[in-house]
Structure 1
Amino acid sequence: MKTDKVDQRYHGDLEAVNRVPFVTSILELICSSTGAGVAAVTRITDDKWVACAVDDRIKMGLKSGDVLAVETTLCYEVWKRGEGIAVNDAAGEPAYRDHPVLATYKLNSYISVPIVLDNGRFFGTLCAMSPQTMHVANESTLSMFHSYAALIAHHLRDHDDNAQQRKRLREEKRLAQQAEQAIAMLGHDLKNPISAMSNAAQLLLRNKPDDRNRILAQLIYDGAIKTRSLIDNMLDYARARFGEGLQLNFNNRQPLAATLEQVVREFVILNPKCTFVADFRLDGAIQADYMRIGQILSNLLDNAVNFGDHCEPVVVKAWSEEGRFILSVSNAGAPIPKKILPFIFEAFFRDNRSEKARGVGLGLFIAKEIARAHGGNLSVHRVERNTVFTLTVPAAQGTY
């Protein structure tokens, strides 16, 4: 039998059919029970007939992967009609006596039924053929073929679903990578002018300007710091949701206490009407990304400023005990309502209790993600009149 080489497009279909655990047994049973010389599972497309699994007992020369023009096969009629064909003896049946397909391949008996997937997609056929007479044009044999075809279709559906899922996952990963790259480029482009504004404002403030210019410079500096924080949160959200997760860098340039003190100093400058009390008692270095720990503190302080009672100090504590690093931020004020408490660490959740609250609702989400990246946890609880957020990095991630 002269056939074409299999097209790369159909390799997935061949693999799917041959992964059906009992397809070989089905073809053997068909040949044994009907006397067929050849039995096959085929894939049918608009122009191709592809042999996916074959049992060739008469050395017809047909093997898995062979391709024929679909119009040169009787399976073409099954595809067009959407129903099976069964021919016992072509020589005795006027409709098939001179059929060119049977004549070309010297066949006298033929049976073929459609394999239709559960979603209604026509996959191909389950067929058998012989140069001798077979008794296949009967209800019992057709019922057997339809049952086998349905069984194969069921297993192919699982493959089809998995293939579609893999395709969707690949596309989602590609889009996620594009999104992460685009956001990273946008963040980089935005950070440069923001840094320039921040540096220029700091320079103006150091030169002891008059009251009017000092207020303007302070406004510029405050806006630059808050915008930089918003950009950082958006970039981290993109990495957490679309990329490979938040990245940690343990090559720290300064001690953790110095990093935390720097964050507190920035908030003292940005919020002159608030009081901040810091108490850092660290016994030594910990295995952590200090800049990320500082980012957690910054996000928690921002939350405390927005929702705390400004008549009471915001208390920041950091200490080590029993192989753990602990950071807490406490502020007085109204408690977090119970109905929103389960959602405060979710992305884009905004607590509208305070008119001072700004941003898009990513601060606590990012803080929680950084804690998880360290193998730690960020929690919130109420102590008397204070709301307390507590970060704990366990001994598995920390060394003192």
Structure 2
Amino acid sequence: MSTVNVDFAKDIERVNKIPLITTLLDVVCQVTGMGFAALARVTEDRWIACSVRDDIQFGLIPGGELKVETTICNEIRDSHQAIVIDHVRESDTFCKHPTPLMYGFQSYISFPIILKTGGFFGTLCAIDPRPAQLENPKIIGMFRLFTDLISFHLQQIELLEQSQLEVAEKELARQQVEKSESQYRNLSDTLEQQVQERTRQLQETIYDLQRSNANLQQFAYIASHDLQEPLRKIQSFGDLLQAQHAVELGKGADLVVRMQTAARRMSGLIKDLLTFSRISTRQEATSSVPLNQVINTALQDLEIPIREAGAHIEIDLLPVVHGDFGQLGQLFQNLLSNALKFRQQDVPTHIQIRAQITPATALPASVKPARKVAMYHRIEVTDNGIGFDSKYLDRVFQVFQRLHSRSEFSGTGIGLAICEKVAINHGGAITAISQPGLGATFQVYLPTIDEPISL
């Protein structure tokens, strides 16, 4: 992209309108341990800092500029691929690269910011004169989430600016129309409808921004505090106490066991919360996903509990849908895991998975898919387990809502909330039919593959 058509001042202004942009850069530095982080606008011939955190006196402020040809971001602009370097001196690719030597860094991470139109905006990057451990799923996942959120916010801000301009233009038109009473009468109804529609669109934009901000705050809080590490230490110290001091502990050994059980439960809860956060915020391009393959993968992961339950599972020929294979796998693995967990002890476990086409006009009144299309796949997962009272239907899909105590059934109370988020991300919905003692049927509605849908 040539700088002829780029308003860098406007881009810097838009970036700094993003809520929590400063907090985002703070979290990047805190989680990676690096001293410099920036959001940069990158074109063919310019590299401009839009927002900066600088703890190493690198010397850049918002509006500051580097020669684009001296940056690794320029290579990312060409490839649209992230670059991660733990230690420049030990990197076969970058140990002799001129950029680290020029700018004096040993660790580097930079992810592209791709707009929803497919255009390249710039990068979210960080550097430090010391090596850093960056090649791990937590940091990679964090950068992907943050660049997706930045792209989303930039798009919404641009839409909001366009909306404000359109509203201003319509107001000017209305004032001109007032000069002629006859023209005003002819156009007033149309203008009123346009203002109402624009107001609705603005309200939807505000809601999307608020939801995105809430997800960003949740993820940043969990990631920056790194809750898993102290839990691992608690479990390790508990193992040492049991192995080396069981005799001295006496009756206190039971307290150690309870402590480790609580730590394991907390660890599982944190993992489920991170999964829920990622699924709540991911909005990536989709591909065709065969649901039979998704189910088979879930069954392999659940091989041991299936064998322990002696479960018989019937699977019909399932459709191919647009979606994310991993998210759909999480959805159906959670439903199958629940069917195995909440089984009746004295009855052979039987699970059936079926599918059929359902027109939008035949959907139950309580089912409201995230995307309106003409036809939906209805995939049903039916079991003969303990079931539940249908009056609790709304509760079962809420985070931390449990219908049974932990002493009866293990779990964090997040699994079905994840299922609902996946269904919504795929333009669909999920509901259930159940009675106590008569099993449950979970119904997942997904748009048919000939319907346009994006996550």
User: Does TM-score exceed 0.5, indicating one fold?
Assistant: no
The answer to which structure has the higher helix fraction is 2
Alignment TM-score, normalising by the size of structure 2 = 0.38
Query: Which TM-score applies when normalising by structure 1?
Result: 0.42
State which structure, 1 or 2, has the greater radius of gyration over its C-alpha atoms: 1
